[in-house]
Amino acid sequence: MEILLLIFLPLIGALAASLFGKSQQARTVAFVSSVLSLGLTAYLLSLFNPDSAAPQFVYDYPWFLSFGIRFQAGIDGISMILVLLTNVLVPLIILSSFKNSYRSPGAFYGLILFMQSGLLLVFTALDAFLFYLGWEAALIPVYFICGMWGGENRIRVNMKFFIYTVFGSLIMLLGIIYVGAHTPDGYFGLQSFYHSSVSPGAQGWVFLAFFLAFAIKMPVFPFHTWQPDTYTEAPTAGSMLLAGIMLKMGVYGVIRWLIPVVPLGYLQWGPWVLMLSIVGIVYASIIAFTQKDIKRLIAYSSIGHVGLIAAGLFVWNVESLQGAMIQMLNHGINVVGLFFIADILIRRLQTRDTEGMGGIASVAPQYAITFLIILLGTIALPLTNGFIGEYLLLLGLSEYNIYAAVIAGLTIIFGAVYMLRMYQRVMLGGTNERTNSFKDIDGLEKLVLVILCVFVVVIGVYPKPILHISEAAVRSLVQLVEGRMHGTSINF
């Protein structure tokens, strides 16, 4: 029953927050709800056995049994990382929004919690139909968050985002139905999908059906074109939700529902996806060099870093998958921190353009220090959280192909250049009329940034507990895929 409470507690909080309508008390209700979800996650983590690869806290109810659909949810080591990511970041995202004024705060915070519930359903579902339900449920609230509280171009940008994601989702649904029709017991359960009898030739098509939805969500080049505009036009809380948590749905989908379900499709298309991921790393990094809008720079930086995660997934070994797991957590922490840093800058200076800034470090030293720590995590400095994930990803890539690892490693070099150049442009040098009265962080701003900085340092210094959570489940999944591919000879 704990898993039901985990999924539905945010929904209860969403309903409670929405009852406050235009009252600012809605944000307090939302924050309390998110903290309760975090507390429940901590309780489940205390009971969780990381040495077991099997799902734990499983709830299984025969929902639409005549159609082979069960309400089946549980948590293994892979899911636990994503549940932690979601329920740690949502309270911080809500807290970071307290200094912003939103019309209809009840609706705004209710939608955030509704999205949280959808995300948790995606990360805990052990039934393909339930996974798809959570996938769509997480899309609806973020569409309204961006459409109602976004920038001046929000309607055009949001429509593009919606069309992309809905199209990908519908193609994935066709893939789910097809695989469900080829399971040995007629069920849509995860284990039934892992033992489906999809023919070698059809696996290539099913791979494309699933991959399209996941590639759009991550996003992987060239399915990324919705992302920079959406991240820029969305309210900062929306950008945080999209970049910090929602894109991980695509990465998780590849790990859980794509490669293990159609491993022969992976053999056919995996090298091409690896190539696209590496191209995306270089492309996004080059575009980031030219950006003066701080939110767009963060958006392109995110494409580059997620491209490295995607590349690691499609070499499919223990090192790269472990790197992907911890890097999903680290990327979420770092990108939420960067967007909050940007939000403070935008609120103080009323502009996203970094040209004409400078000298802020001299008038806001605490802001400068927290900014630098989060930035160093983003560029994977040793002893920060970004280092261990990118190291494992590159290690896994090097076992597959050393040249692929070298090119993918450019994301670290390029990232360091454009991020440090952006920091220099904004924070260093002399002040001017725009920046000489910049107010340093205090109160809730300081609390959120200090918490994020602690994560950056602690995970960087001692990542073992995080890696231990996912290790057994990752090894089991690698063995499953290898077993399904063993001795199989196919021609395409």
Largest CA distance in the chain: 70
| The predicted structure's pLDDT at residue 24 | 79
Q: Which tokens in the block code for residue 431?
A: 């002040």
State whether residue 341 is helix, strand or coil: helix
Task: For residue 72, list its beta bridge partners.
Answer: 60
pLDDT above 70 covers a percentage of the chain that reads 99
The mean pLDDT value for 451-457 works out to 96
Q: Which tokens in the block code for residue 348?
A: 């103080």
The mean pLDDT value for 177-195 works out to 91
Task: For residue 71, list its beta bridge partners.
Answer: 61
Distance CA 367, CA 348 (A): 12
| The predicted structure's pLDDT at residue 178 | 94
The mean pLDDT value for 287-304 works out to 90
Q: Which of 121-125, 175-179, 292-296 has the lowest mean pLDDT?
A: 292-296
- Closest by alpha carbon to 352, among 161, 151, 156, 155? 151
Residue 105 has pLDDT above 80, yes or no: yes
Q: pLDDT by residue (tens digit) across 393-437?
A: 999 999 988 998 999 888 888 889 999 999 999 999 888 888 888
| The predicted structure's pLDDT at residue 55 | 94
Q: pLDDT by residue (tens digit) across 467-478?
A: 999 999 999 999
Please write down the long-range contacts of 205-209, taking CB distance under 8 Å and 24 or more positions apart.
205/265, 206/175, 206/178, 206/179, 206/261, 206/262, 206/265, 207/258, 207/262, 207/265, 207/266, 207/268, 207/269, 208/265, 208/269, 209/171, 209/172, 209/174, 209/175, 209/178
Tokens 């063993």, residue located: 486
Distance CA 311, CA 389 (A): 13
- Closest by alpha carbon to 380, among 289, 304, 314? 304
Residue 488 has pLDDT above 70, yes or no: no
Residue 140 has pLDDT above 80, yes or no: yes
Q: pLDDT by residue (tens digit) across 203-245?
A: 999 999 999 999 998 888 888 888 888 888 888 898 999 999 9
**Among the ranges 58-62, 79-83, 143-147, 196-200, which has the highest mean pLDDT value?**
79-83
Residue 17 has pLDDT above 80, yes or no: yes
